[in-house]
Amino acid sequence: MQEPHLRQDRIPQHVAIIMDGNGRWAESRGLDRNDGHREGLESVRSVVRGAREIGIQTLTLYAFSMENWNRPKAEVTALMGLLDHYLEVEIDEVMENGIRVRAIGRLDRLPPGTRSAVEGAIEKTRDNRSMDLVFALSYGGRTEIVDAARRLLRDAELGEVDPEGLDEKTFASYLYAPDVRDPDLLIRTGAESRVSNFLLWQIAYTEICTTDLMWPDFRKPHLVNAILDFQTRERRYGLTSAQVGGRRGGLGSDS
């Protein structure tokens, strides 16, 4: 199903989302923060379906940051439970829609049950090609860069990498998901304009769209609106407007 008002030649190939505002959504209604996370899961369902319908190739969701480990234990447990629930309940629809589940982050820190649910979904969906759904879990952008540097240094010690010849392309090949293109569009809900340690390397040229909506209120129509906004942007990659030919919402080869 295509969105009639979206330009089909300018659909962002990779959309990344910082899903913020679950707690405030709940607190403003006198509810428990975990009720906000539960409602946030409905937004995840809507946006995953919507992204697939729109024709987005990769959707990355910031589901749990490294910093989130410091939240109260009950909230961490509730968030892990929601992830388990999503993977269990949605896996059939995910398969039917040809979605490949992937994950980036320090997965070794996840509780064993959650980790095996994530790994099971990755394994089950590995041959799907319609859309990649990437969960950033136990993820930090700086941690990802440090992890990449550690592996790179090991390879340098083994003589497999020449430090003098190191370039951005080689460095990027050590990131968690090197085959995933950089996001074209980053959406942040929750009325904040921070990057919050998300995909620090990958968002160098990403268009950013923020909204005052709290994540539980963000559904497919809002995703469409963010893409409409994206389609008005001129991506210049450091060049002049004339050099890029006034291209709006273009995808560029290095993005």
User: Which residues would be at the binding site for ligand FPP (CB under 6 A)?
Assistant: 19-24, 37, 40-41, 44, 61, 63, 68, 79, 82-83, 86, 190, 215
Q: How far is the CB of 176 from ligand FPP (least distance, A)?
A: 17
Q: How far is the CB of 151 from ligand FPP (least distance, A)?
A: 27
Q: How far is CA 118 from the centre of its chain?
A: 15
Task: Extract the runs of DSSP E, i.e. beta strands, from 52-146.
Answer: 58-65, 99-104, 131-139
Q: By C-beta, is 3 or 39 nearer to ligand FPP?
A: 39
Q: How far is CA 176 from CA 102, 183, 217, 250, in A?
A: 10, 14, 30, 26
Q: By C-beta, is 24 or 151 nearer to ligand FPP?
A: 24
DSSP annotation of 188 reads E
User: What is the C-alpha end-to-end distance of the chain, expressed in Å?
Assistant: 26
Q: How far is the CB of 186 from ligand FPP (least distance, A)?
A: 15
Specify the 3-state DSSP secondary structure of 6. Answer: coil
CA–CA separation, 155 and 163 (whole Å): 10
- Residue labelled with tokens 């008005």: 232
Q: Which residue is nearest to ligand FPP (CB)?
A: 23
Q: How far is the CB of 84 from ligand FPP (least distance, A)?
A: 8
- State the sign of the Cα–Cα–Cα–Cα dihedral 65, 111, 121, 143: positive
Q: By C-beta, is 79 or 227 nearer to ligand FPP?
A: 79
Q: By C-beta, is 14 or 37 nearer to ligand FPP?
A: 37
The verdict on whether 20 is a catalytic residue reads yes
Closest Cα partner for 198 from 126, 224, 210?
A: 210
The verdict on whether 127 is a catalytic residue reads no
Reading the block at residue 168, the tokens are: 């951005």
Catalytic residue among 20, 35, 182, 184: 20
Q: How far is the CB of 123 from ligand FPP (least distance, A)?
A: 18
CA–CA separation, 84 and 129 (whole Å): 23
Closest Cα partner for 190 from 220, 225, 214?
A: 214
Q: By C-beta, is 86 or 230 nearer to ligand FPP?
A: 86
Catalytic residue among 9, 35, 68, 70: 68
**Residue positions annotated with a catalytic role:** 20, 68
